[in-house]
Amino acid sequence: MDFSAVSILCVGDVMLDRFLYGSMERISPEAPVPVLLLDKRREMAGGAGNVASNVTALGGRAILVGLVGNDEAGGLLRSALAARPNVVDATVSTTSRPTICKTRFIAAHQQVVRTDEESRLPLQASEAADLCAALEARTEGVQAVVVSDYGKGVCSPQVLETVFRAAKARNIPVFVDPKSSDYRLYCGATCITPNARELAEASGLSVETEAMVEAAARKVMADAEADAILATRSEKGMMLVQRNGAVVSIPTRAREVFDVSGAGDTVIATMALAVGSGLSFEQAMRVANAAAGVVVGKLGTATADIQEVLHELDEQSGPDEAPHLLPRAAARAQVQRWQARGLKVGFTNGCFDILHPGHVSLLAEARAACDRLVVALNTDASISRLKGPERPVNTLDSRARVMAAVRYVDAVVAFEDDTPLETIKALMPDVLIKGADYKPEDVVGADVVTAAGGRLVLADLAQGHSTTSTIGRIRGA
């Protein structure tokens, strides 16, 4: 999973998140309030800016469009954006309002008070014109658009109309994190990501059960003429409801810390990146759920990096999500997740038609040479070409089920060609294992693996065992 080629246009209410840390040791003599002795401060981009930060943390590129005032907070916000690699600051300066700033005072890991600085002035004509011009100029070349509506003025009907028109003209998906309960404002959105409270308010329906969530989602989806609604339900997980009738619900994974601060920004950033990279809505939802799981396991507003998400996806995989025979693309994704965690992935291949002690010995030695082992099986047609029309004895499905049950094996994949070269190129393992009856120069794919920094291992073979001799004994009997 690589988002490095994906660019996301992030538009909406941009703000400065300021954190002031200190200790409380006494009560003020002026009033019965505690005195906070400050010793540390931290500033970061919030609102749509936090979506942009999430995009880059996951390996993508973000272009940020919003309003920033000509004030101290605006300067700090621009500095925070400049410090984020792969964030393009396309924000619009304004003299009509201050930079939105949320200041949190924290003592003993506890938020004591928060102050908000913002203007409730409606979006001015000059501001709207500048925002629309910035959007028109920046929509070209992006793979998705995220609209972060915090109800602070940027997401006016004029600006939203410009976003949807420009995206539609270029066939670019638009993801909306809504604030308004009137989803007709988001007409043209590809996917809207309300939380449970927002969905209830927008639909006027209860969302206590999954059936109720689906009904509410379909109501607002019709209002917005959207393709999908992704309802985030805090500790209850997520539900994806699509216009084509598909409904998928997935739970969260239990964790010690459950802080939802910024989780919505993480979800919509991940969805946009995943769909922008070519994944389906359902695949994107699973990645977004993993990213949200990482973020809620951290205190305060946070982001998730791609390695954390890959690890979380790996941890969330259960027996039902690990079939005995993986498609090549799924096997490649699994290998990348393992490698992202620093694990060495090994690869071996063969017919493994009738599993015998020689095979088990090879697999044991192969697994000892790596942290995770992938076994590639010849398909039935491939074996017939190699061994003759009477082989294989066991079908691919049967062989894969037996192989997946061997404790040394972590994943099973199949290849149709006479050699596994294309599969090796796709998976790019760290260790390639074959039997010691091969010469290094005769091992298919050895040059590819070693050129990429991997190594070849020739495993000792247990003598006296072969599928051919086993078949011969059966026929003789």
Annotated binding site: 195-198
Q: CB count, 10 Å around CB of 158?
A: 14
Q: Which residues pair with 377 in a beta bridge?
A: 350, 414
CB 189 within 8 A of CB 164: yes
Q: What share of the chain is helix, strand, coil (3-state, %, to 5)?
A: 40, 25, 35
By CB atoms closer than 10 A (0-12, 13-18, 19+), residue 169 is: exposed
Q: How much is the CA Rg of the chain, to the nearest whole Å?
A: 28
Q: Which two tokens stand for residue 358?
A: 């020689």
Q: Distance between CA 66 and CA 258 in Å, rounded?
A: 30
Tokens of 330: 């799924």
Residues 6+ apart with CB under 8 A from 229: 191, 192, 193, 194, 199, 217, 218, 220, 221, 240, 241
HEC secondary structure over 367-432 = HHCCCEEEEEEECHHHHHHHHCCCCCCCCHHHHHHHHHHCCCCCEEEEECCCCCHHHHHHHCCCEE
What are residue 51's phi and psi, to 5 degrees?
-60, -45
Identify whether 305 is a catalytic site residue. no
What distance lies between CA 240 and its chain's CA centroid? 15
Count, in order, helices (H) and strands (E) of the chain.
16, 20
Phi then psi for 48, rounded to 5 degrees? -60, -25
Report d(CA 287, CA 193) in Å as an integer. 15
Q: Tell me how far apart the alpha carbons of residues 282 and 249 are, in angstroms, rounded to a whole number.
A: 10
Those residues whose C-beta lies under 8 Å from the C-beta of residue 29, and which sit 6 or more positions away, are none
- CA distances (Å), origin 379, targets 363, 390, 407, 414: 19, 14, 22, 6
- Report the DSSP pairing between strands 228-232 and 247-250: unpaired
In order, the DSSP letters of 184-239 are: GGGTT-SEE--BHHHHHHHHTS--SSHHHHHHHHHHHHHHHT-SEEEEE-GGG-EE
Pairing of strands 228-232, 238-242: antiparallel
Distance CA 254, CA 403 (A): 32
Concatenated DSSP letters for 73-91?
A: HHHHHHHHHHTSTTEEE-P
Residues placed in the known binding site for ATP: 195-198
Q: Which of 149, 177, 265, 410 is catalytic?
A: 265
d(CA 283, CA 242): 13
Q: Which residues are tagged catalytic?
A: 265
